[in-house]
């Protein structure tokens, strides 16, 4: 139906004589209101207080600080981790897995530490046996964090501490065994068990917060520099045993004939 028909008067959908709203004017009014809310200038003729601009900036800063403090105070700690909380750069407490709250920085900070994953290192070294022979070991150490607090603060470099302690413990164990027994495998398992025990005792004494899961001997041999000489010694020893056995067989065959 047309809005205007002859004889029926004006049927303007916007009302009697009203015009549709001016969108530009609507946006201008909204913009001026927002500026007035945050302290900006506007076209309003109403008098404003002199501190409205600084008050708006201060409000924005306060809102930002509140949001930042809330975000910085909530910590989600994984099941494999522990959270070490520092208050004014000093240890305060250890957080369990889950959602935890702390004071925002700089009052408190949180350091997550994985206490479930198995860490490993591999090293080698030349050791002196009980009979004063050199033997080369390639060994592997597997460990995990037992105490997050001790792991972070009791030793400066945990991995270096484990490496040096393992070498020291292995030297102690090797020094009580002879080279032949080590190379032939007779004492290898004993050395492995003894080394792991001494290593754990050393780390406990240091309060390193580390638990040794496994200590394995990957390879055992004489050093390359003396390997050829040691091979000659082994061959000479085998020749000696062979000559002794041949002499024994010959004696067992000749002596009875001589007696007969």
The tens digit of pLDDT for each residue in 133-178 reads 889 999 999 999 999 999 999 999 999 999 999 999 999 999 999 9
With a cut of 70, say whether residue 15 has pLDDT above it. Answer: no
Contacts 24+ apart (CB under 8 A), 190-193: 191/217, 192/216, 192/217
Over range 218-242, report the average pLDDT: 77
pLDDT at 110: 95
- Mean pLDDT in the chain? 83
pLDDT in tens, 48-62: 554 556 667 888 888
With a cut of 60, say whether residue 6 has pLDDT above it. Answer: no
pLDDT in tens, 113-142: 999 999 999 999 999 999 888 899 999 999
pLDDT in tens, 193-229: 999 999 999 999 999 999 999 999 999 998 887 777 7
Q: Which residues of 9-29 are buried (b: 16+ CB within 10 A; e: fewer)?
A: eeeeeeeeeeeeeeeeeeeee
C-alpha 109/C-alpha 90 separation (Å) is 10
Over range 89-110, report the average pLDDT: 93
- Percent of the chain whose pLDDT exceeds 90: 51
CA distances from 2 to 6, 7, 141 (A): 10, 13, 92
With a cut of 80, say whether residue 11 has pLDDT above it. Answer: no
With a cut of 70, say whether residue 233 has pLDDT above it. Answer: no
pLDDT at 156: 93
With a cut of 80, say whether residue 183 has pLDDT above it. Answer: yes
Q: How confident is the model at residue 10 (pLDDT cuts 50, 70, 90)?
A: low
């Amino acid at each position: 139906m047309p809005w205007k028909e002859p004889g029926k008067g004006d049927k303007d959908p916007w009302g009697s004589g009203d015009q549709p709203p001016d969108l530009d004017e609507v946006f201008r009014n909204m913009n001026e209101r927002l500026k007035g809310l945050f302290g900006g200038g506007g076209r309003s003729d109403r008098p404003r207080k002199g501190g409205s601009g600084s008050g708006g900036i201060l409000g924005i800063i306060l809102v930002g600080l509140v949001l930042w403090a809330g975000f910085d105070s909530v910590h989600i700690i994984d099941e494999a981790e522990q959270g070490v909380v520092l208050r004014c750069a000093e240890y305060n407490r250890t957080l369990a897995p889950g959602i935890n709250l702390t004071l925002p920085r700089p009052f408190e900070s949180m350091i997550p530490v994985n206490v479930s994953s198995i860490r490993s290192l591999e090293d080698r070294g030349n050791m002196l046996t009980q009979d004063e022979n050199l033997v080369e070991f390639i060994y592997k150490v597997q460990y995990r964090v037992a105490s997050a607090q001790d792991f972070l603060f009791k030793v400066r470099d945990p991995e270096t501490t484990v490496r040096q302690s393992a070498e020291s413990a292995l030297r102690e164990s090797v020094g009580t065994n002879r080279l032949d027994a080590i190379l032939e495998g007779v004492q290898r398992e004993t050395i492995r068990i003894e080394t792991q025990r001494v290593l754990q005792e050393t780390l406990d004494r240091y309060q390193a917060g580390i638990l040794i899961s496994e200590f394995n001997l990957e390879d055992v041999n004489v050093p390359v520099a003396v390997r050829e000489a040691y091979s000659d010694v082994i061959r000479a020893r085998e020749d000696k045993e062979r000559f002794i056995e041949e002499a024994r067989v010959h004696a067992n065959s000749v002596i009875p004939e001589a007696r007969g």
